[in-house]
Chain A
Amino acid sequence: MIDRPTFWLVVVVLGGGTYLIRLSFLGLLGNRPLPLWLVRALRYTAVAVLPALVAPAILWPPATEDAPDPVRLGAIAVTVLAGVLTRNMIAAIGAGGAAFYLLPMVLAAT
């Protein structure tokens, strides 16, 4: 269950902070180049945060009481493969989702 005071604090601060990030250059800092080190760090924020956020749930899924699950690991492998090959987020998620539902049937048949 989500704690309500925490929730509302997150809504306000995450919303305001995200707005300020978007406003940063367009509204306040204007037409000046970013320092190179900052551009370099920003480029890798998403690829650093997103997979790390879900890595534990992939290896030790709460739904299987933290036991590694071949179906989930297989579905993630398919997602990565499809994403790297197609460079298309929707194709990757679609392939991973399909694998998640089809793999149990394949495993049951063998």
Chain B
Amino acid sequence: MPKPISQTRKAFFKGAAHALSFFVVIVPFAMLFGVLSAEAGLGPWETQIFFVAVFAGASQLAALQLMQDQAPVLVILATGLAVNLRMMMSSVALTPHLGAAPLGIRATIAYFPVDQRFALSLAEFDKNRSQSVAEKVAYFFGTVTPITAVWNVSTAVGAHLGRAVPDSWGLDFAMPITFVGMTAAMLTTLPHAVAMAVSVAVTLALWAMPYGTGLLVGAAAGMAAGAITEAWRARA
């Protein structure tokens, strides 16, 4: 019978191995954030602190753009937090697996970004074999350790390259393509498509509203439209 410590070590390395598949997404995404931050006039250290404090790529990019557009600070914060609200679902998904860990561990876990795919992999683990909380915690830290390292390094590389990228590369359009690509890959159901269409239509219609507030109204309308469409389909 192996000692528990080797079981948790095994879980840690298993998590680290699973993290490799995330690098394809993280490296370009983090570099893009670094480059765009530099173009926006942030120094490498400011960029890195911004990243370490928030650690949520899409909301960082959103906040970056709105700050450049001189949007009111409340609009910037509301938009950035709205982008991250979906993480509440990951928090819910992790709770059955890691909720029994000590509060200090849970408070540490909460710092790291967890996407839906990762929460699913924990559930997948449960099917094969019931794991101890210690093993799941080890698996979690095994996953986020290389992810955090690669994310930090890629951000730093981007922040240093930043100003060397010439305007002719059209990097102004990197963010629209990134956000549209993320969204398009998420358009898996009719309510998702309705949410997107309503949000975009309302935001564009309200574009004349004081800067950025049309976006908040549009996003709220889109969320409501998605939820209503889902409820309506569930009843039908």
Contacts and interface: CB of A to CB of B under 8 A. Distances in A.
Chain A interface category by residue count: 35 or more
B88 A92 contact: no
Contacts of B46: 7
Contact of B79 (A34, A53, A72, A80): A53
A14 interface: yes
Contacts, number: 276
Interface string B156-189: 0000000000000010111111111111111110
Interface string A1-32: 11100110111111101110111111100110
Interface string A84-96: 1011111111001
A97 B169 CA distance: 11
Contacts of B204: 55-56, 59
Residue from A42, A44, A101 whose CB has the most chain B CB atoms within 10 Å? A44
B182 A50 contact: yes
Interface of A: 1-3, 6-7, 9-15, 17-19, 21-27, 30-31, 34, 37, 39-59, 61-63, 72, 75-76, 79-84, 86-93, 96-97, 100-101
B31 interface: no
Contact of B110 (A22, A51, A72): A22
Interface stretch (B125-133, B147-155, B193-201): B193-201
A25 B179 CA distance: 27
10 contacts: A10-B76, A14-B53, A14-B63, A24-B91, A43-B86, A43-B226, A43-B230, A44-B227, A56-B207, A92-B182
B94 A2 contact: no
B173 A22 contact: no
A49 B73 contact: no
B84 interface: yes
Contact of B114 (A22, A31, A44): A22
B162 to A, nearest CB: 13
A79 B200 contact: no
10 interchain residue pairs of minimum CB distance? A83-B184, A48-B222, A44-B226, A15-B53, A92-B181, A93-B181, A40-B227, A23-B110, A44-B195, A52-B203
Interface in B7-61: 24-25, 28, 40-42, 46, 49-50, 53-56, 58-59
Given A2-B40, A22-B90, A47 B196 contact: yes
Contacts of B1: none
B181 A96 contact: yes
A18 B177 contact: no
A54 B179 contact: yes
Nearest to B89: A42
